[in-house]
């Protein structure tokens, strides 16, 4: 595995430790914004591209892989955390691999086909790991393949923080289970997200901002890119 900055390693260490908390959180539907808005928003965004095969990158316990397979989009899930992939494989049909983003940048990976799209739902957390992953992705995509990314809306921070890309302290505030080992995450402005996709070889096709029905504020940012 490629060696990254220590901050990047801590992200994955935290996900290994919190895997069971995450599985329970998703099984209980305990994140209101996901139930109200963002789960359906990412499914709709993927459907809008008309892709028929997908790679679910950082799939966690696999809810989106299962949802896309049920929508006749044949989807493979990958995640670095073995216990999350085991949970995904137990829950449903579908193909899953334990693979980190760092692994995808290596020469040999067990993914034998090219997918029409890669979907990444709230799973781009670090700096270098995200940059390297996005640059590597076109190798796994068909000509004019898509990347569909859902992430925190950048404007979510501006009430209490500066609007500049950079590492931020993380926390698990708001989640019901006893999550531990919060990690730093890399915040990007909207302009930097768009620039990142361009640098990785994607043309930005859509920028979507699903609204939270109770606050009328953006619940997330969805970017759709096409291999240029
Ligand atoms: C917030 S969860 C989202 C999981 C899933 N996409 C969903 O929507 O429920 C973030 C996921 O990213 C995965 N992840 C983070 N960094 C990763 C890396 N470098 N390689 C592979 N997976 C990673 C974690 O293991 C975790 O499953």
Interval 77-123: pLDDT, tens: 999 999 999 999 999 878 999 999 999 998 789 898 999 999 999 99
pLDDT in tens, 123-137: 999 999 999 999 999
DSSP count for the chain of H helices, then E strands: 9, 9
Start-to-end Cα distance in the chain: 28
Give pLDDT, residue 4: 58
Give pLDDT, residue 3: 54
With residues binned 3-state (H G I as helix, E B as strand, rest as coil), the percentages for the chain, rounded to 5, are 40, 25, 40
Structure tokens at 207: 């920028």
Structure tokens at 138: 């076109």
Pairing of strands 115-121, 95-98: unpaired
Ligand 1, residues at Cβ distance < 6 Å: 11-12, 15, 26, 58-60, 63-64, 79-81, 84, 100-101, 121-123, 125, 129
Of the listed ranges 29-33, 39-43, 144-148, 154-158, the least confidently predicted one is 154-158
Of the listed ranges 27-31, 142-146, 176-180, the least confidently predicted one is 176-180
Residues 177-197, mean pLDDT to the nearest whole number? 96
Helix (H) or strand (E) holding 39: helix 39-48
Q: Which ligand 1 atom is at minimum distance from the Cα of 12?
A: 16
pLDDT in tens, 19-68: 999 999 999 999 999 999 999 999 999 999 999 999 999 999 999 999 99
Mutating to test ligand 1, I would choose from 68, 92, 123 the residue with most ligand atoms within 8 A of its C-beta, which is 123
Give pLDDT, residue 121: 98
Q: Which ligand 1 atom is at minimum distance from the Cα of 150?
A: 8
DSSP string, 113-138: S-EEEEEEES----SHHHHHHHHHGG
């Amino acid at each position: 595995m490629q060696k990254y900055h220590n901050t990047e390693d801590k992200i994955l260490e935290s996900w290994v430790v919190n895997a069971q908390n995450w599985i329970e959180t998703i099984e209980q539907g305990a994140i209101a914004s996901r139930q109200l808005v963002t789960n359906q928003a990412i499914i709709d965004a993927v459907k809008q591209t008309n892709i028929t095969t997908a790679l679910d990158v950082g799939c966690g316990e696999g809810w989106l892989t299962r949802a896309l397979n049920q929508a006749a989009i044949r989807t493979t899930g990958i995640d670095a955390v073995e216990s999350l992939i085991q949970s995904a494989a137990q829950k449903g049909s579908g193909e899953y691999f334990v693979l980190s983003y760092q692994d995808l940048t290596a020469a040999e990976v067990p993914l034998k086909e090219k997918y029409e799209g890669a979907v990444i739902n709230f799973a781009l957390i670090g700096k270098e790991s995200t940059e390297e992953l996005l640059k590597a992705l076109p190798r796994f995509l068909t000509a004019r393949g898509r990347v569909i990314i859902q992430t925190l809306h950048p404007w979510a921070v501006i009430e209490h923080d500066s609007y500049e890309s950079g590492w931020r302290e993380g926390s698990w505030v708001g989640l019901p289970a006893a999550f531990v080992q919060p990690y730093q995450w890399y915040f990007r402005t909207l302009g930097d997200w768009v620039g990142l996709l361009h640098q990785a070889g994607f043309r930005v096709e859509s920028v979507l901002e699903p609204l939270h029905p109770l606050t009328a504020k953006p619940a997330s940012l969805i970017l759709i890119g096409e291999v240029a």
